[in-house]
């Protein structure tokens, strides 16, 4: 069995194990969030985060500072009931003749008995600088692993819808991915992509996207 890790997987590796169908950037229904309201608490919290970002050059901050100041606070704000946001989340999946394993920078999902058993939103904090790689490769592989974990909790559904996003400084880009397995040797990913959103300018819209994803998953 071939073992692949998120940190080392390549585009060539990914193309061997999954058929990726990218629909490109558009205004999909799930990106239309004007109808999602904010509570007073949420609005005030978002303004506080924005204040802490607006007068700083986020592209000069290190990744740990950006995560603590800009990314994780928004994930915490969408928690409700047993839906929790975790950082440094171990993921592992076994598909047919290959295995995926590694650590996701962040995930939101259902927490059961102290474990994040069904992650439906995966977050990758993209590396910056000359050695930076395309964050989509890592994100796709982590979404595949998340879909596997969701199938363990819902084996009756052949298609798992997993959301993902990658962040570069305080810029967010979201994906909606339908993972379809007709059998363990034929796996398809149908990908819809949002445009990029800059948090210090569009924090309310980013939060509404996150909130909309949680609502869509908890209202089923």
Q: SS3 breakdown of the chain: % helix, strand, coil, rounded to 5?
A: 35, 40, 25
Domain ranges of the chain: 2-218
Q: Is 119:90 a contact under the CB 8 Å cutoff?
A: no
Given a cut of 80, is residue 215 above it in pLDDT?
Answer: yes
- pLDDT for the residue numbered 152: 87
Residue 106 φ then ψ, to 5°: -160, 160
Among candidate residues 166, 173, 74, the one with its CA nearest the CA of residue 125: 166
> Is residue 216 helix, strand or coil?
helix
Q: Is 165:173 a contact under the CB 8 Å cutoff?
A: yes
pLDDT tens column, 105-119: 999 999 987 888 889
Task: Please give the residue that has the higher pLDDT: either 139 or 158.
Answer: 139
* Phi-psi label, residue 142: left if phi above 0, alpha if psi -120 to 50, beta otherwise: alpha
CA 161 – CA 206 distance, rounded (Å): 19
Question: Which secondary structure element, helix H or strand E, spans residue 107, and what is its range?
Answer: strand 98-112
Which residues are bridge partners to 204 per DSSP? none
pTM of the model: 0.93
pLDDT tens column, 142-156: 999 999 999 988 767
Averaged pLDDT of the chain:
91
- pLDDT for the residue numbered 56: 83
- pLDDT for the residue numbered 130: 46
Chain mean position to CA 37: 22
- pLDDT for the residue numbered 144: 95
Q: What is the mean pLDDT of residues 43-52?
A: 94
- pLDDT for the residue numbered 2: 85
Q: For 151-194, give the DSSP string.
A: HHH-TT-SEEEEEEEEEETTEEEEEEEEEEEEETTEEEEEEEEE
Among candidate residues 214, 21, 8, the one with its CA nearest the CA of residue 119: 214
CA 200 – CA 117 distance, rounded (Å): 32
- pLDDT for the residue numbered 33: 96
């Amino acid at each position: 069995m071939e073992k692949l890790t998120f940190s080392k997987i390549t585009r060539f590796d990914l193309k061997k194990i999954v058929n990726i169908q990218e629909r490109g950037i558009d205004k999909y229904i799930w990106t239309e969030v004007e109808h999602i309201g904010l509570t007073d608490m949420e609005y005030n919290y978002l303004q506080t985060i924005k204040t802490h970002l607006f007068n700083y050059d986020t592209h000069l901050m290190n990744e740990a500072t950006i995560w603590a100041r800009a990314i994780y606070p928004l994930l915490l704000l969408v928690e409700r009931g047993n839906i929790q946001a975790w950082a440094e989340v171990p993921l592992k999946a076994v598909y047919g003749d290959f295995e995926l394993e590694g650590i996701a920078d962040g995930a939101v999902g259902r927490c059961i008995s102290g474990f994040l058993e069904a992650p439906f939103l995966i977050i990758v904090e993209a590396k910056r600088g000359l050695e930076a790689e395309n964050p989509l490769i890592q994100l796709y592989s982590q979404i595949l692993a998340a879909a596997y974990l969701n199938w363990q909790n819902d084996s009756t559904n052949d298609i798992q819808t997993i959301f993902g996003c990658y962040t570069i400084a305080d810029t967010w880009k979201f994906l909606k991915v339908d993972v379809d397995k007709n059998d363990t040797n034929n796996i398809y990913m149908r990908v819809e992509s949002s445009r990029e959103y800059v948090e210090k300018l569009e924090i309310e819209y980013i939060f509404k996207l996150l909130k909309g994803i949680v609502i869509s998953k908890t209202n089923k």
